[in-house]
Amino acid sequence: MDSPTSSSQGTGDLDSPAFIRALRAGQSSAMEMFLSRYQDRLFNAVLKIVSNHDDAADITQEALMQMLQHIDQFNGQSSLYTWVFRITTNQALSHCRKRKLRHTVPLTQSGADGTMIARAPEPCAGPDSNPADQVEIKLDHQRVMAAMADLPVDFRTLLVLRDVEECGYEQIAQITDLPVGTVKSRLFRARQALRALLEESSRSPRVADVGRVASTAPKAGAK
């Protein structure tokens, strides 16, 4: 008898007829695998689109529950991943268009113990880098995140799918219901817009001041 929780770890497991049948039958093991595979990944993608932690959590939870309730609508013409991301992306886009969200992504959030934790992975400096270098690397990451959040939501979504989720053009076309040629042209324009925002932020006096503060900051342990 086919098992939805076989030892194979490939993405194709979730596209197998046995797994889809198990989801449709409401088997708890299949539902748990579905959630464990997609919940965090969807949340991280949605967060980059909607730019709000609570909204991203609500959209992700609602999308996953709806997909589990309506799994019969999955016809197998695309991968389960594509179907999942299409539904969730559409919900995120709808949310943004209703709210007209264009504000900057908050770069930190409060942890359970009250400390501030990063919302997204940040590039790391090497072990031999000095504190000023580490601050500059973090500043670059923050500048990219802020610029991404200031893009039109359609551009931001395409960049998330292509550069964060690493989807191919055909897959993005299926998720967004756009022709492949349109996906490529909009991605080109999105990258141009992002580059322009980054160049503008690099000329900001406030950013330059932060860099100067970082370069003159006392080393750890100095008095």
Q: Please tell me the distance from the alpha carbon of residue 121 to that of residue 137, in angstroms, as a whole number.
A: 12
Helix then strand then coil, in percent of the chain rounded to 5, is 65, 5, 30
Where are the chain's structural domains? Answer: 11-99, 111-216
- pLDDT digit string, tens, across residues 19-56: 999 999 989 999 999 999 999 999 999 998 988 899 99
- pLDDT digit string, tens, across residues 97-139: 887 644 434 333 444 444 333 333 333 334 444 444 444 444 5
- Cα-Cα-Cα-Cα dihedral sign, residues 78, 80, 82, 84: positive
Q: Answer yes or no: CATH 3.20.20.140 is held by domain 11-99.
A: no
Top-level class of domain 111-216:
mainly alpha
Q: Quote the mean pLDDT of the chain.
A: 74
Residue 161 has pLDDT above 50, yes or no: yes
The answer, as to whether pTM is greater than 0.85, is no
DSSP letter string, 210-221: HHHHHHHSPPTT
Q: Identify the CA nearest to 29 among candidates 11, 52, 6, 56.
A: 6
